[in-house]
A = this chain, B = another copy of it.
Amino acid sequence: MTLQSKHFSPLDPASPEPIYRQIYWRFRGAISDGLLAPGDRIPAARALAKELGLARGTIDTAYSLLTAEGYLLARGQAGTVVAPGINVRKPSARAEQPLHAATSIRHKAPVLPFQMALPALDAFPRKIWSQIGARCVRATRIPDMANPSVLGLESLRTAIATYLQVARGITCSPAQVFITSGYRNTLALIAHALLKPGDRVLVEDPGYLPTRQLLAHLQIEVAPVPVDQDGMQVSQGVSSTMDARAAVVTPAHQSPLCVSLSLPRRLELLEWATRQQAWIVEDDYDGEYRYVSRPLPALKSLDRDGRVLYAGTFSKVLFPGIRLSYLVVPPAQVERFEHVSETFLGGCPELTQAIVATFLTEGHFARHIQRMRKLYGERREATARGLKKVLGDRIRIDLQPGGMHLILRLTGAQSDRALVERLLAAGIYAEALSDWRVRDETDSALLLGFANVDSEETAERLGKRILALM
């Protein structure tokens, strides 16, 4: 092809379409007309700029846009070519709407049935959320763009302190609330502030794997403590690891067994922490979701001596993609955490924080939780009924008062790991209880998220697919 083809002359400087975009469209035209074929090398930006009498940057911008949309492929020193795999005959709807690229370039893996730790996305108030989002985007002013606080947006810290008082019985000031970008971020912050390599930490067994992984990576030794119907067996843990510096627990609904840490054990744990000057990390990842009686107050609400670090998150109550969590530290530790935050925290985008703060202060948050509590209670019952109807005596379901997943005990000699592999291969999500354990145990169970199972019929249908793979 020649650069003097119809595709490259004349450009219109008077057009409302910027020059880079005119060039962009001309390349698109040249590709769809077959003047440029897949694999063809395109002119160097410098050469084309000279040819057309334009700034190099203009050509770069056009090329960068074409590359980002998949029309061109940059090959480093080998130059840039028309993307080999491109289908030039049938431009997709997307290709025709480059201005709406925002909708199409956010591509994701599909959500599988029984996905764990995923709230009911179909029931999320997306309309209200979008309205608040658009309002917050428009309300962005110059000072909002500068000087971000690594500790978090003041309005969000205040809204969280208020919410925790009402919903979880925790009395704290906004200064005690630190905004983080997720539980891992929260836990790393705690470790950097209060622990050092070589320290020993009690964790639940079975328990959440990322907790063990992160601590181990920081050269902190984890000491697994068995969990029974009343939660972590505190006496056994503190007596077998006398020098433990901290304990990480999930008191509301133990992760993954969904049992609650009993009041005597809560008090025992607090008493131990005070006596040993040790720390308790309360991972309250879904404390809001209790279906029988009201949610229990947080362990933190009983903390008289400032030993509990409370880790909350919006992943389960809003949605995981939001990447927003928080940590409440005892008043005496605020300064230390501020210092460590300055060193380690990147801070979270203020737009997201402003949207969540507004969602909280306008009352949408509290209403959403109430609606979800009702919905999940129904879905939990329906899922359990549907699965039981199909799977009968092959399983046993112990319904706990809270949580977002069911525990399907396998009554036969079935291996949960092997079954999970077959299920995943068939497009059904499940986790094996064995994978959450440190010590070997003989019991075998599937963990199944129920929040996105919309009816008993759906559960029955999925149950039949599980049955076929047992």
> A: which residues have CB within 8 A of B?
18, 20-21, 45, 55, 57, 60-65, 67-69, 74, 76-77, 98-103, 105-111, 115, 118, 121-122, 124, 126, 129-130, 132-148, 153-155, 158-159, 162-163, 165-167, 171, 180-185, 188, 192, 197, 210, 213-214, 217, 219, 319-325, 340, 342-352, 354-355, 357-358, 360-363, 366-367, 370
Cβ of A363 and Cβ of B20 under 8 Å apart?
Answer: yes
The distance from the CB of A192 to the nearest CB of chain B, in whole angstroms, is 7
Residue ID in chain B nearest A356 by CB atoms: B349
Q: Which 6 A-B pairs have the closest CB atoms?
A: A182-B346, A181-B346, A105-B155, A133-B137, A145-B319, A185-B346
Residues of B within 8 A of A139 (CB): 100, 102-103, 106
In contact, B106 and A153 (Cβ under 8 angstroms): yes
Contact of A135 among B100, B124, B340 (CB under 8 A): B100
Which residues on B sit within 8 Å (CB–CB) of A347?
181-182, 323
Smallest CB–CB gap between A312 and chain B, Å?
14
Which of A60, A108, A109, A355: most chain B Cβ within 10 A? A108
Give chain B nearest CB distance to A347 CB in angstroms. 5
Q: What 9 new A-B contacts, CB under 8 Å, besides A68-B155, A133-B351, A321-B350? A: A20-B366, A68-B162, A74-B162, A122-B142, A148-B320, A181-B347, A185-B345, A210-B343, A351-B352
Question: Across the interface, do B121 and A130 meet the contact criterion of CB distance under 8 Å?
Answer: no
The residue among A62, A69, A146, A219 with the most chain B CB atoms within 10 A of its own CB is A146
Give the docked Cα–Cα distance between A197 and B279 (Å).
24
A136 vs B360: C-alpha distance in the bound complex, in angstroms? 22
Contact A130 B122 (CB under 8 A): no
CB pair B360–A68 under 8 Å, yes or no, is yes
For A192, what are the chain B residues with a Cβ–Cβ distance below 8 Å?
217
Contact of A145 among B121, B183, B197 (CB under 8 A): B121
Residue of B nearest to A24 (CB): B363
Docked CA distance A219–B66 (Å): 46
